[in-house]
């Protein structure tokens, strides 16, 4: 039986195959902003910084959703910065998946794939 890290790395490998524009992918603990597991395709991508600042963005958006209505539940956060497209998808109460994409990525297809990987991640993490 595979341990959780092996399962996550397998999911990351599948993501790399299905998303050629992928620069980095990781699973981050929403409490401390530390990566549980990550895979960098672009060695120059600063995953630690993206995780830390991404965690602030995710938690701020969660608070904003709660302030607007008790029915609003954060699903994902998208950010565009020069040369990089970032998506943070909530994976249960404790984690979120962060991905960095090249600016030419197809966002619609990426969102479909993230939903697919989300189901696999839920099984691995919970």
Domains of the chain (ranges plus CATH)? 4-125 (3.30.450.30)
**Cα separation, 125 vs 84, whole angstroms:** 27
Supply the pLDDT for residue 80.
92
Supply the pTM of this predicted model. 0.89
Q: Where are the beta strands (DSSP E) in 30-110?
A: 35-40, 76-81, 84-91, 95-101
- Measured in residues, the chain has a length of 126
pLDDT surpassing 80 at residue 1: no
2, pLDDT greater than 90 = no
Pairing of strands 84-91, 35-40: unpaired
Count CB atoms within 10 A of the CB of residue 12. Answer: 23
Tens digit of each residue's pLDDT (9 = 90 or more) over 7-60: 999 999 999 999 999 999 999 999 999 999 999 999 999 999 999 999 999 999
Angstrom distance (rounded) from CA 125 to CA 10: 13
Percent of the chain residues past pLDDT 90, beyond the cut: 70
State the pLDDT at residue 72: 63
Place of tokens 């998946």: 97
């Amino acid at each position: 039986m595979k341990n959780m890290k092996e399962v996550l790395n397998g999911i990351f490998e599948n993501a790399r195959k299905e998303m050629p524009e992928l620069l980095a992918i990781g699973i981050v603990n929403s409490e401390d902003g530390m990566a549980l597991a990550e895979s960098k395709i672009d060695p120059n991508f600063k995953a630690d910084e993206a995780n830390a600042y991404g965690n602030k963005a995710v938690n701020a958006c969660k608070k904003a959703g709660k302030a607007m209505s008790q029915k609003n539940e954060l699903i994902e956060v998208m950010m565009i910065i020069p040369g990089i497209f970032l998506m943070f998808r909530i994976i249960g109460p404790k984690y979120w998946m962060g991905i960095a994409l090249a600016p030419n990525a197809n966002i619609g297809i990426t969102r479909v794939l993230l939903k697919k990987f989300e189901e696999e991640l839920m099984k691995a993490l919970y």
